[in-house]
Amino acid sequence: MDTKIVFLDQATIRRDIEIRRPAFPHEWVSFDMSLAGQVGERCRDADIIITNKVPLNRGMIEGLPRLKMVAVAATGVDRIDTEACLERGIVVCNIRNYALTAVPEHVIALILILRRQIFQYRQEVLSGHWQAGDGFCLFDEPIYDVRGALLGIIGYGTLGQATASLAHKLGMQVQYYSPSPKDSDFSRPVELDVLLQTSDVVSCHCPLNRQTAGLIDGSAFDRMKPSAIFINTARGAIVDEQALVEALVGNKIAGAGIDVLAQEPPAVDSPLMQIADRTDVILTPHIAWASQQAMQLLANQLIDNIEAFMQGNPQNVV
């Protein structure tokens, strides 16, 4: 009997990205999207499940007697009950190091837009304010260089380090907070409180887990400088979104660039959607990772992980 592979949410990878088929006899079944309640029916006889955002909890896993591998089409595995998989001997593999260019570039783009007030000044042009003035330029809002600014990175894994490297090349100073400090020629580890109080830019790159859920709350924003900006390309639930809104509205921080939300897609009445039209806020739809090059690397590694597992040498095991 051929190995059955079920891809629960293939639409999370762009249609113009090539996903090659594994080089062993198999049955391939894919769905654009799947609801949690459809997992049992669709994967009842699956040997391998591919999922990006569809959750697999203990109850689902216990109802899938043939399941041997979960191939996560992403880095984060917070939607997978890895303990239940471990108890069943099910191997869980994720994708690693595929967005080491895409995510840092997105972070730097957000920093540049916010530090240089690009949205605000664009609005000044669209509103006619510049044209109605007497001077050749406007000085309504302060503009800050990126070079020389202090970037504080929360979480210093591969993406945090890649972001630090790119920021350093632009002349930024870098400090970071991590439970596991690492050697670096251009960044230094500090306590979280020090990072929040002293950074010109705070950028989240940590995984979502019990320790980091709600880590950036109202007290965190209270400790940041009024001129600081906040960036999150990690996971939405790391941040108390209502506290972030209050920090922005109350001018406790100068701006925010957010690529991830606690609920995706967000409800129209979610806290950040209520202020999405502010010029000091940039909301992007979880696309920091999604350059064409990065997505193709993800698709290639996804199949590499499955083939390695079938060869008895699983890689990227969580």
| Tokens 């996804």 found at | 302
Catalytically active residues, by annotation: 235, 264, 286
| Tokens 């439970």 found at | 179
Quote the tokens at residue 50. Answer: 């591919």
The whole-angstrom separation of Cα 295 and Cα 301 is 10
The whole-angstrom separation of Cα 295 and Cα 300 is 9
Strand order in the sheet with 48-51: 26-30, 3-7, 48-51, 69-72, 91-93
Using CA atoms, how far residue 316 sits from 66, 77, 166, in Å, is 21, 12, 25
Q: How many helices (DSSP H) and strands (DSSP E) are in the chain?
A: 10, 12
Residue 54, helix vs strand vs coil: coil
DSSP 239: B
Continuous H helices in the chain: 39-42, 58-62, 82-88, 102-115, 118-126, 158-169, 192-198, 218-223, 241-249, 292-310
